[in-house]
Amino acid sequence: MTALSQAVAYLTSTQTSPPAAAAVVADLLLAEKAAKSSPATYPALWGTWRLGFVTGTRKARQRAGVTLGAGRFLPRWLNITITYEPTEPTATGDRAQVNNRVRCGPFDLQVSGPTRFWPQQRILAFDFTRLSLKLGKQTLYSGFIRQGQGREAEFYQQALKDQAFFKYFLIRPDCIAARGRGGGLALWVADR
């Protein structure tokens, strides 16, 4: 069993010990290399996914670029999910809505906005234009953030270089993994 499979099993069960983070990072890098030539479909990403493993990045000395930091599993009490769902039918099925949710105790923070998917490159661009903050059942704020209404209206006319994005290199029914624009890796598992 690979470290990646062990990580998915750890994140989706009551298994008490995760595999070594370095081995998970190595498996993610192998999956990323293997995915370079195969396109993906956006509907394969639709659904809710729980974030379970991340790596940071650090700037290497002498302008060698960005290198991966150590990977880590998120604590089980911290529930961070990302949901992709279609908003309108298009010929290519490339547009949808993203909802990123963080739940910790009674706090529920959600940011959402438009997305666009480029299947050949496996790139999903997004913008968080709305925010909802709740404490228990009480809504503290719900509305646009950072001139979100205007950014939402202009989103599909923007070039990819002007947007935040993930490059998904692993898309399976039980998990997805991507490299962020900043260079870090993330692994989500299906949130059933």
Q: Which of 131, 167, 123 is nearest to 149 (CA)?
A: 131
Following CA atoms 180, 171, 126, 53 in sequence, which dihedral angle do they give, to the nearest 10 degrees? -40
pLDDT tens column, 96-117 = 899 999 998 899 999 999 999 8
How do the domains of the chain map onto residue ranges?
Answer: 3-190
Q: Is the pLDDT of residue 136 over 90?
A: yes
Q: What is the pLDDT of residue 68?
A: 66
| 50-71 average pLDDT score | 70
Question: What pTM did the predictor assign?
Answer: 0.88
Q: So what CATH class is 3-190?
A: mainly beta
Q: What is the pLDDT of residue 61?
A: 44
Q: How far apart are CA 90 and CA 85, in angstroms?
A: 13
